[in-house]
Structure 1
């Protein structure tokens, strides 16, 4: 007589304890019979980029059962966004004229700790300063190796995984998903004291520049979180990740420099990826679903990071619960909704960047505003350039190899796209226009 299968240690393992992972855990724990483990690499003590929360997030926090605690904790109201975008002058969007009223200037550490505490209060298990080392698929779900806070390697089993490990998470990709990456945006952040005589503004501020854009957000402790958003290649070429270079550029801004003190130390800014990407689901019925930036990451200019993390965490949890206890149809519906939302985001993203026309020849802006014009039947071949703004050098070289013999653009595109599924078709088309002359 065969031995019965052993009961898994957890029903759902959530990799990542940020807003997406915590939202997924709180959603799953609405069913007390679902045993949940959250594995978080940090300990909620480090400053993070993402310091303002839009007013429409309120209903998500209510659903998760943390609204009362949040409203008592976060006291700095944000009344709108100011932007010098498309001109040197500041323009303002006041939240007071929206349905939900003011937003919040976040104490991000306290906010994430609040969510983590709520997970534990609702019966979820949370391991901090821990990291998943390996996932191995089994008939019953997954075998998992985790290094815990004491440095001990722990072995456990679970039925389902929610990947909430961020933009660069490898876990969904290991299960067969593909991450399609649209740009190379990076953020370089410092947390700075305000200038003498400057009150903490109740507005966030965005200021465009030739090499990208700056973002400033007031914090409850009186400081300002200041980030430079630029492309990875430009950051490397100009050595912008060095403190002196970063502060020199900040001193050259028109609006943001007035709000912060530029005296004293010039710390090295903290770098973090900020690129736009979408993860297509694994081709089979692998018991894993992604949430937050691990499923779709948006440009920070959209100001949707935390609300989208909470919303996708909720929906990913529902898909996981449906896979375990229902008919499993919610997962496809969830991924379809993510794809539709991301398509709308791309259109809005292009229109917003297109509104800034002061530096049309600058690489940062040309990359984001160019639109492919190549007709599908155009014969292409005979390279006229060796490098492209729109694809990595190795892809440019491969494109030139494929174009050694003139052929219709759609045929060349199909071959290159099959080899480079992680690059958007639009970028491949733009590279073809840039590198190849019509035969």
Structure 2
């Protein structure tokens, strides 16, 4: 009895409450996004909202099962879970169903499908935590860094082959886990500079303007650090590599990306203006969100939603329904819930006594942050459309179940933290 009472109080109920709130909000917004007057009932199994209700029940059941498991098995079975998802990612390339140009789903029958890439995020976080928490493992050492990178890279390559670019990019967020575990901040700085140069190279009419700016800034920094020979040589090498990178960007951009990917990036950067073809989805999305103004049009009253002006509105563009029917106030509540969830997860990760639990917690935070930030940025035109769901709110069983497993595994690990020496 005392153990049950202790377990009850050790569970982080704030995180559980936020999870349930987002799931509930998602269910009602999916209903609004695809509402059919001929099927008005929430539990109608012929509709997406009826199926999502079943997914939520299954997810909550799975969450309870995870909380009742012995937490030490999660670390012990991490390699097994990882291998299973890798095999599923290989299998989907052979027998998978093609939906929207991606061969990413395995048919389960009865209108239900399994998307292995969603669960690969969980097993990758689990195995990465298992490896990095090992004895004498330091990401600052080349061998450890390469093995950790290999754990992340393998599912990325298999998912890219589907090809599912959105899910592939999610794994890049795990660099924040490596950074928390001691990776030099220079990796993040260099990544940020490369992204900046990439954007500037595309929007600058004459590349020589950008090259000249790089040289001027580089020479100024070299002069400033002239007494530190090592720093000066590093800056000189950085200046030369930056100039070479700028020259290489456009050929790589033209030949390394597909035409529709380039067109989406061009629309976001303002290089081209297209509101009828490539930019149609984002344009309609911004119209829907903007039309909600402060308080929204009211539940089931959104005209953009009702007449299906925005494609994929129950999945990738579910935030449009929030903006149109709930307005800025409702959107702010959603953003606040996600920020609260992320801050709570980071707080949980930091209070862990076990390195495995801490590292896993940062993996969960990284994946959820990437989904949340990119999905909402995509709907307001700040990022190109890459097709990733909004956690716990977008329609989809695989997505909901994978985020449920991610979150409740951390809650389970946290509930046992006091028993770890």
- Which one has more relative contact order, counting CA pairs under 8 Å at least 6 apart? 2
Higher helix proportion (structure 1 or 2)? 2
TM-score, normalised by the number of residues in structure 1:
0.24
Tell me the TM-score normalised to structure 2 length.
0.24
Higher fraction of strand: 1
